Amino acid sequence: MNIPKKIKSICCIGAGYVGGPTMAIIAQKCPHIKVTVVDLNAEKIERWNSDNLDDLPVYEPGLKEVVAEARGRNLFFSTEVEKELEYAEMIFMSVNTPTKTYGKGKGMAADLKYIESSARTIAKVAKTDKIVVEKSTIPIKTAQAVNKILSNTNNGVKFQVLSNPEFLAEGTAIKDLNNPDRVLIGGEQTEDGLRAIEALSDIYREWIPNDRILQTNIWSSELSKLVANAFLAQRISSINAISALCDKTGADVDEVAKAIGMDSRIGPKFLKASVGFGGSCFQKDILNLVYIAKSYGLDEVADYWQNVIKINDYQKNRFADSIITSLNNTLSGKKIAFLGWAFKKDTNDTRESAAIYVADILMEDKADIFVFDPKVTKERMFEDIDYLQTRSPEENRKYLNYGDNPYDAMKGAFAIAVITEWDEFKDYDWQKIYDNMNKPAYIFDGRNILDHKKLKGIGFEVNAIGK
Ligand code: NAD
Ligand code: UGA
Q: Is 232's C-beta closer than 6 angstroms to any atom of ligand 2?
A: yes
Q: CB of 272 closer than 6 A to ligand 2? A: yes
| C-alpha torsion sign, points 405, 312, 310, 362 | negative
Dist. CA 291–CA 302, nearest whole Å: 7
Provide the annotated active-site residues: 281
What letter represents residue 11's amino acid? C
pLDDT for the residue numbered 5 = 87
- Residue 115 CB less than 6 A away from ligand 2: no
- Closest ligand 1 atom to 19 CA: 26
Is the beta carbon of 169 within 6 A of some atom in ligand 2? Answer: yes
CA-nearest residue for atom 27, ligand 1, is 96
278 lines ligand 2 (CB under 6 A): yes
180 C-alpha to ligand 1 centroid (Å): 20
Q: How far is the CA of 39 from the centre of ligand 1 (A)?
A: 10
Taking residue 257's Cβ as centre, other Cβ atoms within 10 Å add up to 23
Supply the residue whose CA is at minimum distance from atom 10 of ligand 1. Answer: 14
The answer to whether the beta carbons of residues 416 and 337 sit under 8 Å apart is yes
Query: Which ligand sits nearest to residue 180's alpha carbon?
Result: 2
Pocket of ligand 1 (CB under 6 A): 13-19, 38-41, 44, 81, 94-97, 114, 117-118, 136-137, 166, 168, 170, 280-281
What gap in Å lies between CA 21 and CA 136, rounded to an integer? 14
CA dist., res. 227 & res. 224, Å (int): 5
- The pLDDT assigned to 153 comes to 79
What is the CA angle 308-100-59, rounded to 5? 75
At residue 422, the pLDDT reads 98
Asked if residues 442 and 416 have their Cβ atoms less than 8 Å apart, the reply is yes
Ligand 2 centroid to Cα of residue 59, in Å, is 16
HSE, CB side, 13 Å, CA atoms: give it for residue 362.
35
Query: What Å distances lie between residue 76 and 92, 127, 442, CA to CA?
Result: 14, 21, 49
Looking from the CA of residue 347, the nearest atom of ligand 2 is 15
Q: How far is the CA of 344 from the centre of ligand 2 (A)?
A: 8
Atom of ligand 2 nearest to the CA of 269: 36
Ligand 2, closest atom to CA 236? 34
Question: Which protein residue has the closest C-alpha to ligand 1 atom 20?
Answer: 39
Q: In whole angstroms, what is the distance from residue 228 CA to residue 218 CA?
A: 16
- The pLDDT of residue 155: 81
* Terminal CA-CA length for the chain: 61
The residue type of 240 is N
Q: What is the pLDDT along the chain (467 residues), one digit of tens a residue?
A: 999 989 999 999 999 999 999 999 999 999 999 999 999 999 999 999 999 999 999 999 999 999 999 999 999 999 999 999 999 999 999 999 999 999 999 999 999 999 999 999 999 999 999 999 999 999 999 999 999 999 987 788 999 999 999 999 999 999 999 999 999 999 999 999 999 999 999 999 999 999 999 999 999 999 999 999 999 999 999 999 999 999 999 999 999 999 999 999 999 999 999 999 999 999 999 999 999 999 999 999 999 999 999 999 999 999 999 999 999 999 999 999 999 999 999 999 999 999 999 999 999 999 999 999 999 999 999 999 999 999 999 999 999 999 999 999 999 999 999 999 999 999 999 999 999 999 999 999 999 999 999 999 999 999 999 99
Which ligand is the nearest neighbour of the Cα of 419?
2
CA-closest residue to ligand 1 atom 4: 16
The pTM for the full model equals 0.96
Which domains occur in the chain, in start order?
Answer: 9-208 (3.40.50.720), 310-464 (3.40.50.720)
